[in-house]
Amino acid sequence: MTVSQPVIEIDVATQSLTLKDAQGRILMQTRISTARNGVGEENGSEKTPRGAHYIRARIGAGLPADAVLVSRRPTGEIYSPSLRTAFPNRDWILTRILWLCGLEPGNNRLGTVDTMRRYIYIHGCPDEDPMGVPGSRGCIKMRNNEIIELFDRVVPGTRVYIRG
């Protein structure tokens, strides 16, 4: 007997993420922050890609909240406002990463519109970053406690639908 996977729905207009079970019941709902440049799929656009995706990889299991990740690897640093001051241009990816891969060739997969090759993630961010308003460089940012909760409820292959 197989158990159906939950589904993640991301609504860019309302800046919200909803995790639903196989029957459509809401398991989790939270405010997020998508790209400050809006929606779009092109490489280098720093926009949030739309359409059907799946979680390609889960990165950061067991790391403490606020652990800093660079190029999908923990740096050994724990985020703090003073660390942000020391590295003002860093794109702060904290705690956990859910790396997304597109399912729609020509729209969000392959060529110049490949979500995975663009390194689009659902990830944690500094607590002072605002939620509910666009502010990322293409990824979907969440509060650290919420990315931990989501991370623990999904597996590679979980579907993610992003509506622009």
User: What are the residues whose beta carbons fall under 8 Å from the beta carbon of 108, sequence distance 6 or more?
Assistant: 41, 49, 50, 51, 52, 53, 102, 114, 115
pLDDT, tens digit, for every residue of 117-159?
999 999 999 999 999 999 999 999 999 999 999 999 999 999 9
pLDDT, tens digit, for every residue of 77-117?
999 999 999 999 999 999 999 999 999 999 999 999 999 99
pLDDT reported for residue 3: 60
Q: Where are the domains of the chain?
A: 7-163
The count of residues in the chain is 164
Phi, psi of 163 (to 5 degrees): -100, 130
Q: Is 41 exposed, middle or buried (0-12, 13-18, 19+ CB in 10 A)?
A: buried
Phi, psi of 84 (to 5 degrees): -60, -40
Is residue 147 within 8 Å of 61, Cβ to Cβ?
Answer: no
CATH 3.40.50.300 fits 7-163, yes or no: no
pLDDT, tens digit, for every residue of 28-82?
999 999 999 999 999 999 999 999 999 999 999 999 999 999 999 999 999 999 9
- Provide the whole-model pTM: 0.96
pLDDT reported for residue 1: 43
C-alpha to C-alpha distance for 88 and 101, rounded to whole angstroms: 29
